[in-house]
Structure 1
Amino acid sequence: MKDFRDKIVVVTGAGSGMGRAYAVEFARLGARLALNDFDAPALAETVRLLGIDEGERLHSAAFDVGDRAAMERFAGDVRTRLGHAHVVINNAGIEGVGKPVWATPAEAYTRVLHVNFHGVLNGTQAFLPQLIENGEGAIVNVSSIFGLIGPPNHADYSASKFAVRGFTEALMVELRGTRIGVHLVHPGGIATNIARQDRTQAFRHKYLSTPPEAIVRHVIRGIRRGTPKIVYGHGSLKTWLGSNLLPLRWLNPIIWRDMAGVIDRRDYPPSPLTVLPSRDRHHPEPDQDQAA
């Protein structure tokens, strides 16, 4: 798809960050917009910034993208009020709890998968029939560079983004040869407000630096060119290269060294290097000079 003028573009998570940037850029390109966010005041602020009244060029609705029935109602309302969707940007997402696997409660995995994966699943399945009926369109599913590697203290988030990756890559194969483009986006460190917890602020300051407007423009170029996998943003190139070229026995220590200084390590056991050797005949206790 090359021209977005008067095309109907759906954007989830449009209340801030990349979602708001998608709304602004597609509005500039003359598209009609269907916008969602869970945060109603933030979504209303995006609509205010666009300067477009609700009506034949814009429809917005605040709801949880993980709620299948709500997503289906949204798709039906978009069809009724605007027409069949042409482009669907499944962008909505939340951060994990920022703890290692053993300290992350089961409900945290459920919550993150509910939004980050099921939101993509619901948005794709609810709107794909409209694209098929149009005979053209684009599905854009937002994963992460943490859908390329498994970083410490992000297992819940990473699991959801790997799920988006697998789902979207399968969809690409299924829709091969059609005029419906399927695009998988792996953002690097984008300067959004996704990292809100105190324990993730060091991570945010080190990594989240690429302006959301920059990746949005890059993704739109990717849609126009038919690029299936779009990797862009701070740290994305080295992450993509590492995930493709390095065996895990080399890659994992590199990831740890890069991130060890910005993750909360209070839930970690003492390092094996700090544990004294056992006192037996095979491991005699070192003298004071050796221990130092």
Structure 2
Amino acid sequence: MKQFTDKVVVITGAGSGMGRGYALAFARLGAKLALNDYDREGLEETGTLVRALSDKALLTDVFDVGSRGHMYDFATRVKAEMGNASVIINNAGVSGEGLPTWGLSDDSYERVMQINFFGVLYGTRAFLPQLLASDEGAVVNVSSIFGLVGTPNSSDYCASKFAVRGFTESLMVELEESPISVHLVHPGGIRTNIAKGAVKGEEFADKYLKTEPDDIVEQVIRCIRSGKQRLVYGHQARRIWLASWAMSLEKRNRLLFREMQDMMDPEHYSILRPGA
């Protein structure tokens, strides 16, 4: 896709961070917007900012993307009120609890997987028929650099982002000869509130979340226009991407351990040193 004027662009997780950045960028490009977030206040604020930029149609809906029924109802509403979507950006996501595997609850794995993976799955499947009916369009699924390598205290989050990667890469092959482009985004350290509420979340954010959301939004739009399928972008993203394929797993794991050791609370790891 080269232009977005009067095209219907659907964005999940639009209440803050990258999602809000996508909404404002596409508003400036003249798109009609269908926006979702679980945070009503944040979504309303994004809507106000969008209306200040554009007089194009705007639809907002507050729901959990991990709810299959709500996602499909959203797709039905978008088609009825705005017409077929041309772009779906599955951006919504949450962090995990920030604990090692043995310290995590089963509920955390289920919650993170439901939102981060199944939210992407439902969003893609709910809107793909509209893109195909339009005979053009783009699917943008947001993974993470933690969908390239496994990191400590993030096995719930990494599992979900690796799942997004696998699903999206498979979809790319399936749609190879279609008019639909598929894009997989691996953000690095983007300055959002994703780590809020996790153990050592503030320390993690201060150390790693350095790149402004608008910067990666600009790159994603370039990818949609050019057809580039993978984007690895943000603070330390290139370094992690290189490590994901250029280093042996053993060497990479040692590097990640040293890099992130100060995020690993010794108390949580005392189980590995009985009697110490």
Q: TM-score range by the shorter chain?
A: over 0.9
Report the equivalent of 1:190: 190
Separation of aligned partners in 1, 2:123 and 2:94: 16
Shift of 1:232: 0.3
Separation in 2, partners of 1:115, 1:160: 9
Match of 1:254 in 2: 255
Say what the alpha-carbon RMSD is for the aligned residues: 1.7
Q: What is the one-letter code of the residue matched to 1:17? A: G
User: Which protein is richer in helix relative to its size?
Assistant: 2
Q: Could you list the per-position Cα deviations for residues 66-95 of structure 1 after superposition, in whole angstroms to 9, with x for gaps in the alignment?
A: 100000110011001110000000000000
| One-letter amino acid of the counterpart of residue 57, structure 1 | A
Alpha-carbon deviation of 1:27?
Answer: 0.3
Could you say which structure has the larger radius of gyration?
1
* 1:68 alignment counterpart: 68
Question: Any idea what SS the aligned residue of 2:99 has?
Answer: coil
2:187 and 2:232 in contact (8 A); partners too: yes
Alignment of 1:124-273 (within 5 A): 124-197=124-197, 198-269=199-270
Superposition deviation, residue 263 in structure 1: 3.4
AA at the equivalent of 1:213: D
Q: Given residue 221 of structure 1, which amino acid in structure 2 is its aligned partner? A: R
Q: Residue type matched to 2:33 in 1? A: L
Specify whether residues 266 and 275 from structure 1 end up closer, same or farther in structure 2 by C-alpha distance, changes over 3 A only: closer
Q: For 2:56 and 2:50, how far apart are their aligned partners in 1? A: 14
1:7 and 2:20 correspond = no
TM-fit CA distance, 1:50:
1.3
Q: Amino acid of the residue matched to residue 50 of structure 2?
A: L
TM-score (norm 2): 0.96
1:98 is matched with 98
Measure, in 2, the Cα distance between the counterparts of 1:27 and 1:155: 36
> Could you list the runs of 5+ residues in structure 1 that have no partner in the other structure?
277-292
Q: Which runs of 4+ in 1 moved over 3 A?
A: 52-56
Amino acid at match of 1:30: G
TM score, norm. by length of structure 1: 0.91
Whether the aligned pair in 1 keeps the contact of 2:195 and 2:201 (CA below 8 Å) is yes
Give the CA deviation at 1:45.
0.6
The correspondence of residues 272-291 of structure 1 with structure 2, limited to 5 A, is none
Q: Report how many aligned residue pairs link the two structures.
A: 275
Q: Secondary structure at the match of 1:192?
A: coil
Q: Contact 1:109/1:156 (CA < 8 Å) preserved in 2?
A: yes
Task: Give the conservation status (yes or no) of the 8 Å contact 2:23–2:33.
Answer: yes
Aligned equivalents of 1:201, 1:163: Cα separation in 2: 26
Unaligned runs of 5+ in 2: none
Q: Matches of 2:52 and 2:155 in 1, distance apart?
A: 40
Q: Deviations over 1:191-224 (max 9, x none)?
A: 0011112522111100001000000000100111
Counterpart-to-counterpart distance in 2, 1:187 and 1:262: 20
